[in-house]
Amino acid sequence: MTTNVGQIRKINRDVYEVQAGEEIVLCMGRGVFRKRKIHPKVGDLVDYEEDGDNLALITHVHERKNELVRPPIANLDQVILVFSAVEPAFSVHLLDRFLAVIEAYHVEVLICLTKTDLASEEELIDIRKTLQYYEALGYTVLETNPTAPVSHEVMRPLINGKISVLAGQSGVGKSTFLNSLFPELDLETAHISAALGRGKHTTRHVELIRIYDGWIADSPGFSSLDFQTIEKEELRFSFRDFNEVSDHCRFTSCLHLKEPKCAVKEAVEAGDIMQTRYDHYVQFMNEISERKPRY
Ligand SMILES: Nc1nc2c(ncn2[C@@H]2O[C@H](COP(=O)(O)OP(=O)(O)OP(=O)(O)O)[C@@H](O)[C@H]2O)c(=O)[nH]1
Ligand SMILES: [Zn+2]
């Protein structure tokens, strides 16, 4: 029997759809998985053995580079963070909140600004100025609306070879964005739309949908925006703009709050770090302090 490697793209009860090259192989998990509490997820790289007419058997789940609990996805590469310019209004507070959580997963972030056609010139100038700061931090920023959609030439390299998940408030235009790129996905995006926001409490499995040479999850992704699982030490490293500067703080363990000779606070005062970034950081730190201990 030869062992093959593939990636789980869909789970239906106990049957795993494993993508192996262009082929989809239906697999079962090894019986001992249950006993060992091994739960293969969409996105997992697995070894499987084919068994004649029977379903193939997943024999091993490769080590994950990361994993999300909700939606259950392993080996996520990218979060496409969708924000509308208006309706609902662009919120830099929500942006920082999403980024703080996402940074802990060490994945790429694509910031996508929608509804630019509905915003006034002044509103757009303001938002663009803000987003330039984030672009300088290394986040990719795109603008889109149905009359000026992002081109395939721009999107393709951003999607290829990656597992992406969309995230953003309800109504910001996640489905519209995907639809403008892939009208042929129509049914699928209606399906995506149904999965987003609504029926949040029904447990359903995510499915990875092929776009270009990449995968996108048919799930809203990060909707839980609390810091329940993040510790202060992690949040400290979630702000890219603080990291380099913080080498110059007097204390190596500086949390940039009340400590003296804090290089981050100095950079905020000098205008090198955006004031709102720092304010949000302090607010998130306080939220972590105030949350109930878990023991
Ligand atoms: N004018 C304009 N309208 C948009 C744009 N993007 C989305 N809309 C409209 O905004 C509304 C919400 O868009 P959706 O694509 O359903 O938003 P969503 O993020 O998928 O929302 P949920 O499914 O609730 O999570 C729809 O009526 C869209 O037609 C845009 O760029 N310009
Ligand atoms: Zn500091």
Read out DSSP for 162-227?
Answer: -EEEEE--TTSSHHHHHHHH-GGGHHHHHHHHHHSSTTTTS----BEEEETTEEEESS--------
d(CA 234, CA 133): 22
pLDDT one-digit tens code per residue, 1-32 = 678 999 999 998 889 999 999 899 999 999 88
Q: Which ligand is nearest to the CA of 278?
A: 2
- Rounded to whole angstroms, the Cα distance separating 192 from 175 reads 7
Domain-wise residue ranges, the chain: 3-63, 68-217, 232-290
CA separation for the pair 140, 157 (Å, rounded): 12
Do the first three CATH levels of 3-63 and 68-217 match, i.e. the same topology? no
Q: What is the CATH number of domain 3-63?
A: 2.40.50.140
Q: Domain 232-290, CATH 1.10.40.50 — does that match?
A: yes
Q: Alpha helices, DSSP H only, in 6-57?
A: 31-35
> What is the ipTM metric for this complex?
0.98
Hey, whose CA ends up nearest to atom 21 of ligand 1? 171
Q: Is the pLDDT of residue 237 over 60?
A: yes
Q: Report CA(258)–ligand 2 centroid distance (Å).
A: 9
Could you give the C-alpha distances from 83 to 92, 116, 181, 249, 282, in angstroms and in order?
Answer: 10, 10, 17, 34, 23
**pLDDT above 90: residue 68:** no
Assign domain 68-217 to a CATH class: alpha beta
CB of 50 closer than 6 A to ligand 1?
no
**Dihedral sign for Cα atoms in the order 97, 99, 101, 104:** negative
pLDDT exceeding 90 applies to what percent of the chain? Answer: 65
Task: Please indicate if the annotation marks 171 as binding a ligand.
Answer: yes
Q: How much distance in Å is there from the Cα of 107 to the middle of ligand 2?
A: 25
